[in-house]
Amino acid sequence: MAENPFIKVAGGAGITQPPSSAEFLADRSFRFLAQVGAAVIIVLVAYILWEIGGQAMPAIREYHLGFLASSVWDVQQHRFGILPEIWGTLYSSLLALMIAGFFGVTVAIFLTQDFLPPRLAVIFRTVIDMLAAIPSVVFGLWGIFVVIPAIRPLADWLHQTVGFIPFFSTSLSGPGLLPATLVLSIMILPTVAAISQDAFRLVPYRTKEAAYGMGATRWEVILRVMVPTASGGIFSAMVLGFGRALGETMALAMLIGNSNQISLSLFSPANTLASLLASHFPEAGQVEVHALMYAALVLLAITLIVNVVGIGILTMTQRKFAGK
């Protein structure tokens, strides 16, 4: 009787043979290193929070929660508030996420659902991934010299024609929320597109074939089968993209205008927490440093809340599709 080749592996050892001492040691070592790595990350995050919290504590004692509701940043009078920065951070990030989310998912569908030959799809995928390697300051310069002059005629026309709408109530004189948002959406596009592509690839091929077998058209399969099935991964891409947008610094500091005001207008200058930190830290005195550390703590809290809420919604979505 011929020997079954699947019963033995190279060297004559059986597949069902228990792990050797070396394999057992390697497994235990890997587990130990993984646990140590996780512990180091937790300790590092706790240390960062401890240091920032310690530096921010004088400002927390003096300004309390009024720091979050005030719009004044006056170094001479030691009056500080970050409400415009919180507004600008959330407003610009949400707008950028809407733009990058739409185009990122569209790109993912375009690259994974056989709209392009495989070699051409690889080229497009590489180009999109390369956007993530461009330095933030280069995006900022591109926004100043290309984006702002390109959108100014349209912004002026919208302001003159439909200026009664709050979103177009001011003119675009230079740096402002819209150019910062457009550049920011391009910066987070690779993150959204890459993770969305992975989500679409993880959908079982038989799921798509079953939909075709039921008589569904190509777009019905994509929009009613593929997108809902991959919604967990797509939502993860959105959360990560939003987290990247919240912390983006250099490009926004160059493009958003750094103005302490709250406005719905897309053309007015604004400010974000990250750009506030970047622009004020180099020349900050001791009192202002405490206020800036308080602002950094608020930014960390916003990022943490966004991620916790995102994970919660993702878990509920996965349970819904799993029928639990």
Residue 288: which of 299, 300, 280 has the closest Cα?
280
How high is the pLDDT of residue 6? Answer: 46
How high is the pLDDT of residue 318? Answer: 66
Report, at the CATH architecture level, how domain 52-322 is classified.
Orthogonal Bundle (1.10)
How high is the pLDDT of residue 179? Answer: 92
How high is the pLDDT of residue 100? Answer: 92
How high is the pLDDT of residue 15? Answer: 58
Q: Is 62 helix (H, G, I), strand (E, B) or coil?
A: helix
Residues of the chain with pLDDT under 50: 1, 6-12
How high is the pLDDT of residue 320? Answer: 64
β partners of residue 80: 73
Q: What DSSP character marks residue 226?
A: I
How high is the pLDDT of residue 7? Answer: 46
User: Do 82 and 295 contact (CB within 8 A), yes or no?
Assistant: yes
